[in-house]
Amino acid sequence: MEDVPLSSLLIVLILCVLFSGFFSATETAYSTCNKIRLRQMANRGNKRAESVLEFCETYDKLISTILVGNNFVNILATTVATVLFTALFLNNGPSISTAVMTIVILLFGEITPKTIAKEYADEFAMFAYPLLKFIFVILTPFTFIFNLWQKLVMLLFKSSDKQGMTGEELITMIEEVEKDGNIEKEESELIRSAIEFSDVDIEDIYTPRVDVIAVDIDDTLDEITEKFEENHFSRLPVYKDTIDNIIGFIHQRDFYELDKEHEALTSIIQTPLYLPLTTPISDALKQLQKSKVHLAVVCDEFGGTAGIITLEDIIEELVGEIWDEHDEVVDEIIQLDEKTYKIAGTANIDDIFDLFHLYEEDIYTSNTLSGWIIEFFEKMPSVGEEFDFKTMHIKILEADDRKIKWVQINEQESLDESEKNEKD
């Protein structure tokens, strides 16, 4: 290279740096481009977007081309720079060349092009396609060897159980998209509910037997009418002798159309669907649809009635609470001051633990605050009773013989924190 003019060396050096930046930007653009957006553009007739998507499908071969090309121009740039600076600065040339080229390649061959390509990934991927396609063809003989080596390495170290994206990873991705402002909070919650839908069992959302409004087969018609009018339900379960023996349910419309003088109540009782507590609600939904009923009896492990579940309960798990004109809107968690809450016994126990930043390791069978407290006491506590659990001081405000209706919870320091503060 000693006979090559310095101006030619400078031109070659500049071209190498430009190509280095091109390869670095291309690598970033093709790894971060929005394939969904490109697919939409391709569907609208954008041929360049369609070509980019085809390239992305062979990303392993593409990345080999980019790396081979980038390393080639970087090595050539370093060599040319060494010759150029040696000619200009003699013995100090190599040292100066190393310092200058390190800065130049970092700034103009890596940082700047990658920053720009990340910001305009889709646009740059389409812009770079023609030249990248040409280089891809030229370097095919070289990349073929590297691709064989890559397959050999993958064959040796590849995991046998290839896993896709988990539900938790997908939810995290949705949360990030929501933070970026690309989807609304309501849309994010709906997607999250759909992802988690298959992980929810009946026992997480059913109405327990203590809250079930049902009629005895021997109740008078006036008593049944009163229950429909008081509770505003469209359907009521019907039991014989005990609620553990639910024999069906009646629809409000059928009941009012019943010829009470000539027809018996049994003529409008519909056969119920029986489901165990552990049934996933996705399966419960299919069985309700197949049976063409809106209500199912939930059975416990002993065959008794644990409660009921309705089609509305399952849909609410997906889309959120559904209120009608007869529903009384009740806030289950009412904040009285900074550290004091009035909480309904029907509140979900997991929500309460989250509210007070508790992560209970013990396994409890109850899903509601009321059930958890009864399980904790191993009896039905009386109004006014108080107890401490970690950072919660719990006081029973309202209860009857079967369930706890309202409690007051004060957030306090845990015992460990209190002892630590006393020592300090």
Question: Are the C-beta atoms of residues 15 and 69 closer than 8 Å to each other?
Answer: no
Q: How confident is the model at residue 159, as a pLDDT?
A: 58
Instruction: Please give the order of strands across the beta sheet that includes 404-411.
Output: 333-337, 340-344, 404-411, 392-399, 386-389
Give the residue from 311, 206, 301 showing the smallest Cα distance to 244. 301
Distances (CA, A) of 245 to 227, 229, 254, 338, 354: 19, 24, 22, 47, 37
For the chain, the straight-line distance linking the first and the last C-alpha, in angstroms and rounded, comes to 76
Q: How confident is the model at residue 215, as a pLDDT?
A: 92
Q: Mind giving me the DSSP string for 247-311?
A: EEEEEHHHHHHS-TTT--GGGGPBPPEEEETT-BHHHHHHHHHHHT-SEEEEE-TTSSEEEEEEH
CA angle 297, 299, 305 (to 5 degrees): 75
Q: CATH 3.10.580.10 spans which residues of the chain?
A: 202-319
Quick: pLDDT tens for 76-102.
999 988 888 888 888 888 888 889 899
Q: How confident is the model at residue 328, as a pLDDT?
A: 54
- CA 249 to CA 181: how far, in whole Å? 47
Q: How confident is the model at residue 368, as a pLDDT?
A: 81
Question: Are the C-beta atoms of residues 394 and 409 closer than 8 Å to each other?
Answer: yes
Pair type for strands 273-276 and 295-299: parallel
- CA 75 to CA 89: how far, in whole Å? 21
Q: CATH 3.30.465.10 spans which residues of the chain?
A: 333-411
Cα R_g (the chain), whole angstroms? 35
Q: How confident is the model at residue 315, as a pLDDT?
A: 85
Structure tokens at 292: 């063409």
Distances (CA, A) of 143 to 22, 68, 139: 18, 7, 6
**Residue 169: CB atoms within 10 Å:** 11
- Quick check: helix, strand or coil at residue 386? strand
- Quick check: helix, strand or coil at residue 239? strand
CA angle 329, 192, 311 (to 5 degrees): 50
- CA 193 to CA 350: how far, in whole Å? 16
Question: Are the C-beta atoms of residues 220 and 209 closer than 8 Å to each other?
Answer: no
CATH of domain 202-319: 3.10.580.10
Q: How confident is the model at residue 16, as a pLDDT?
A: 92
Question: Are the C-beta atoms of residues 291 and 273 closer than 8 Å to each other?
Answer: yes
Q: Spell out the residues 6+ positions from residue 204 whose beta carbon is closer than 8 angstroms to its own.
A: 281, 367
- CA 41 to CA 217: how far, in whole Å? 64
Q: How confident is the model at residue 76, as a pLDDT?
A: 92
Could you tell me the pTM of the whole model?
A: 0.52
CATH classification for the domain delimited by 333-411, as one of 3.30.465.10, 3.40.30.10, 3.90.550.10, 3.40.640.10: 3.30.465.10
Quick: pLDDT tens for 327-339.
555 678 899 988 8
Give the residue from 331, 332, 358, 335 showing the smallest Cα distance to 346. 332
Query: For each successive 10 residues of the chain (424 residues), what is the average pLDDT?
Result: 73 92 92 87 89 84 87 91 86 87 91 92 91 89 78 71 63 75 75 77 85 89 88 89 90 84 82 91 90 90 88 81 54 87 86 80 69 80 88 89 86 61 48
- CA 369 to CA 215: how far, in whole Å? 27
